[in-house]
Amino acid sequence: MHLLSLPTDEAARVDSESVFEGAIMGLEQLTALDNRFKPFFSTLFSPHAPPRELLTPDENKAVSSSVALFLKLVSPHAAMSSAQYCLEHLIRKHHIHRFDYDEMICCPLPWHDTALFVRAVKLVRLLGGKSTRWG
């Protein structure tokens, strides 16, 4: 497991429940900045969201659409720790590094000269499971 805001060895020690709690707090902070984040509490950040591997192709397409919208909204805030907890939740819960890798790379692109962008590219390349145009 990788927490984008932490070195890999530290991130591995952070359990998924802690990441989810951090993501909810992060989403609250993002919503305070921009109310367009509010609907994601009941979709991408719902504790009842099923694993993507169990979804039908149409359901997966709907999740991908929601992921794409969220990542576009969060991109200007991607350097904030609150946003990074949200991104980590999306990686762990919704496997965006496998299903939505183009959007995942584009999200931190404005931060291309930071460790955040480098870690995102490495996750897509190493954990994505298939060759992509990004690596």
In this prediction, residue 2 carries a pLDDT of 43
Q: What is the pLDDT of residue 122?
A: 74
pTM: 0.83
Q: 27: part of which helix (H) or strand (E)?
A: helix 16-33
pLDDT-flagged residues of the chain (< 70): 1-12, 125-135
Distance CA 120, CA 108 (A): 8
